[in-house]
Chains A and B, each alone.
Chain A
Amino acid sequence: MKQKLMGLNGDEAAAYATKQVDPDVVAAYPITPQTIIVERFSEYVADGQVHSEFVAVESEHSALSSCIGAAAAGARAYTATAANGLALMWEMTYIASGVRLPIVMSVVNRALSAPLNIHNDHSDSMGARDSGWIQIYCENSQEVYDAHVEAWRIAEHEDVLLPVMICFDGYTISHTMENVMTLPDEDVKGFVGKRGFIKVQGHLGEAELRLDPGCPISMGPVDLQDFYFEHKVHQMEAMDEALKVIPTVDKEYGALSGRNYSHVHPYRMDDAEVAILGLGSAMGTTRAVVDELRGEGVKAGMVKLRTFRPLPAADLMKVAGDAPVLGVIEKDLSFGAVGSPLYEDVRAAFYGAGSKPLVANYVHGLGGRDTSMAMIRGIYEDLLKIKRKGRVDKTMNYVGLRE
């Protein structure tokens, strides 16, 4: 199968993959640094290259609301946003997952206001981590492209039926042109197939879970003390299922594309004594530092987390558990908490384990501050110190902060 090499930035890769998927409805509102996605997609619509109905809504709240209406009506619905746009959607993110609608959304990670900042960090999507969406983080434009093809199969899987957020770093990925291998249109269409519907019990008997004039059901009803709890636990179970379904989709996609993904991507971890765990574009920088350190004889490794929700705790422990010291790097804060979200998850995952690494938290890159190789090297040096001392003196560390 012949793939085409294209020069695409992250936003263009998201738009191009979505063009190939050709969803029924794209409802979106422009926000930096996501704008290239809606611009490109509008061009595809204007040139008749897609069948999609593009709904140029008046807010992000309406963007996701329109996707909810469309997905409930049986359509494939896509949107894209960033930062404050995602914050404005907050109410609807919980509703999209609660109604079990397989919407796909690109989140081009950007710092949340205030102060106003258009550059990258993960405060936006981390704020939505409990909204019931699957979250996949990408390291580069290639991963952005691939995730935008795979996401539909994950979201629409009958054991999952959850919306998917594909998160990638504003500017660092969204505006940086890279080589991207793209599949032929027909291969993408064949891979995503047609959306299917599960059967539910409606008041007229068996019905498909959608707004069907032929067999009506009520969606998004009032759900009180007697059933709400069960429905929320169903969402938890769907997340557990997603943990199993994502690797099967990855495997199928790997066979098609030759690009193999998994929940976690360890790098030089086999004998690693100090390791960094993180997600997003910073992991490319980290990988380069690992190679440098290995060249100097330091047993450094790293673990890139691709799936953040559901958290692949078992996989994570398997690949990172043998490293004596682990540094969790992330671009977000949880004000007043013990640490930032990823750190807390990693610590919690290891808490009951027999042998566990020493874990420290390194917050970097807030508001788009550059994370250099020197900074990553500094983190490894700190981890080596922890290893020597055998204890973590300071769990929360700010990397690249002004003195």
Chain B
Amino acid sequence: MSQITLKDMAAKPDLLCPGARLCAGCDESIIVRMVLKATRGPTIVTNATGCLEVATSIFPYTSWDVPWIHSAFENTAATASGIEAAYKAMRRRGEGPLAKYPQLDVIAFAGDGGTYDIGLQALSGAMERGHDFTYVLLDNEAYMNTGIQRSGGTPFTAATTTSPAGQVMPGKLEWKKPIDDIIIAHAIPFTATINAAWPLDVMKKARKAFEAEGPAFLHALTPCARGWRYPPEKTIAVSRLAVQTCVLPLYECRQEGGDVVYELSAPSLAIAKRPESKKPVEEYLQMQGRFRHLFRPERREDLLKALQEGIDKRWDTLLKKCGL
């Protein structure tokens, strides 16, 4: 992989410009800026309908200093397929406006609704066909743009406006869909989780994704102050805790000579080496109003236990996959 240093990256201009209408404390713009810093040169971005799209493109303004297209919600991977196919055809023919670029980074940004739910078919199709592009999942764990409705990416017990914590139901009854496992099952060259609390890791993985020949998938957990109910200045703290509690560990998965190779990234590897440093999931939950009903009016020991066990189980499974 080509070298990525914080110093070089800091010197690169932001390709998502300041002044977007995203909420204070939004993690999405942080991830997007980091990912775009890792681009190698000519880049085309496509964006699913969602917060990022509506907050960065209100006509006649735009925040994007890269060629950018939004077409719909469920089809980002299909739109990216078309862009990549156009580039490939022009290269092969040696003719057409993109023919002159020896490489092109095609990036698709989509939220959890556009990935776990409505966009899963298009995404699966694009992965199966092997288009060379990077899909970045901005996972804020609910339909935030429409007002915090539950998605397949919403975690167990989280309160949303369509999975409210009520008298008989404690928030969402189902567990978060294991999207990374689904993607990895497509045997694409590169899949990784990323987190804005570790910027260098984000940019290094983004560069690896661009350099991979074929589809690459980056899963960013993007805390949402409005939807998760925490103060906007705590975004990075909440994000960091997701890794420290192993709610969303940092790792990458590569196809190497027909083998599926899992590798923990430094922050999660440190926890694997010193299991006592793993923080209890409660620390993560307590920071967020969407889990408040687990603590008030009374502690829901049953749910807290189930949550901790569920997180532990997934972590153990991941460790085994990593050969640890």
A218 CB contact (under 8 Å) in B62, B96, B104, B126: B62
Q: Does B203 count as interface, using CB distance less than 8 angstroms?
A: no
- Indicate with 1 or 0, residue by residue over B73-99, a CB within 8 angstroms of chain A CB atoms: 011011111111111111011011110
Q: Does A392 count as interface, using CB distance less than 8 angstroms?
A: no
- Distance A214 CA – B101 CA, assembled complex (angstroms): 10
Residue of A nearest to B17 (CB): A203
Q: Does B323 count as interface, using CB distance less than 8 angstroms?
A: no
- Distance A51 CA – B90 CA, assembled complex (angstroms): 9
- Distance A75 CA – B125 CA, assembled complex (angstroms): 21
Residues of chain B lying within 8 A (CB to CB) of residue A221: 57-59, 62, 70
Q: Establish whether residues B81 and A51, one from each chain, have CB atoms under 8 Å apart when the complex forms.
A: no
Q: Does B54 count as interface, using CB distance less than 8 angstroms?
A: yes
List A215-249 residues whose CB lies under 8 Å from chain B.
216-224, 227
Residues of chain A lying within 8 A (CB to CB) of residue B92: 51, 53
Please classify how large the interface on chain A is, using the bins under 10, 10 to 19, 20 to 34, 35 or more.
35 or more
Please classify how large the interface on chain B is, using the bins under 10, 10 to 19, 20 to 34, 35 or more.
35 or more
Q: Establish whether residues A219 and B70, one from each chain, have CB atoms under 8 Å apart when the complex forms.
A: yes
- Distance A55 CA – B60 CA, assembled complex (angstroms): 33
- Indicate with 1 or 0, residue by residue over A274-305, a CB within 8 angstroms of chain B CB atoms: 00000000000000000000000000000000
- Distance A203 CA – B56 CA, assembled complex (angstroms): 14
Q: Which of A58-66, A171-179, A256-264 contacts B (4 or more CB under 8 A)?
A: A58-66
Which A residues are closer than 8 A to B by beta carbons?
Answer: 24-25, 27, 51-53, 55-59, 61-63, 65-75, 77, 91-92, 95, 99, 194, 197, 203, 208, 210-214, 216-224, 227
Q: Does B156 count as interface, using CB distance less than 8 angstroms?
A: no
- Distance A69 CA – B68 CA, assembled complex (angstroms): 10
Residues of chain A lying within 8 A (CB to CB) of residue B121: 58-59, 62
B75 to chain A, nearest CB (A): 4
- Distance A12 CA – B254 CA, assembled complex (angstroms): 43
Q: In the complex, which of the residues A55, A56, A65, A218 has the most CB atoms of chain B within 10 Å of its own CB atom?
A: A218
**Known A74-B86, A74-B98, A224-B58; contact A58-B71, beta-carbon cutoff 8 A:** no
Q: Establish whether residues B86 and A77, one from each chain, have CB atoms under 8 Å apart when the complex forms.
A: yes
**Known A68-B71, A213-B43; contact A73-B82, beta-carbon cutoff 8 A:** yes
- Distance A211 CA – B86 CA, assembled complex (angstroms): 11
Q: Establish whether residues B60 and A27, one from each chain, have CB atoms under 8 Å apart when the complex forms.
A: no
18 contacts between A and B (CB under 8 A): A25-B86, A53-B85, A55-B81, A57-B125, A58-B124, A62-B81, A62-B122, A62-B126, A65-B71, A65-B79, A65-B122, A68-B69, A69-B71, A69-B82, A74-B86, A218-B68, A219-B70, A223-B58
Residues of chain A lying within 8 A (CB to CB) of residue B125: 57-59, 62
Q: Establish whether residues B79 and A24, one from each chain, have CB atoms under 8 Å apart when the complex forms.
A: no
**Known A58-B121, A216-B64; contact A99-B71, beta-carbon cutoff 8 A:** yes
Residue of B nearest to A201 (CB): B60
Q: Establish whether residues B69 and A70, one from each chain, have CB atoms under 8 Å apart when the complex forms.
A: no
Residue of A nearest to B63 (CB): A218
Q: Establish whether residues B80 and A69, one from each chain, have CB atoms under 8 Å apart when the complex forms.
A: yes
- Distance A27 CA – B101 CA, assembled complex (angstroms): 23
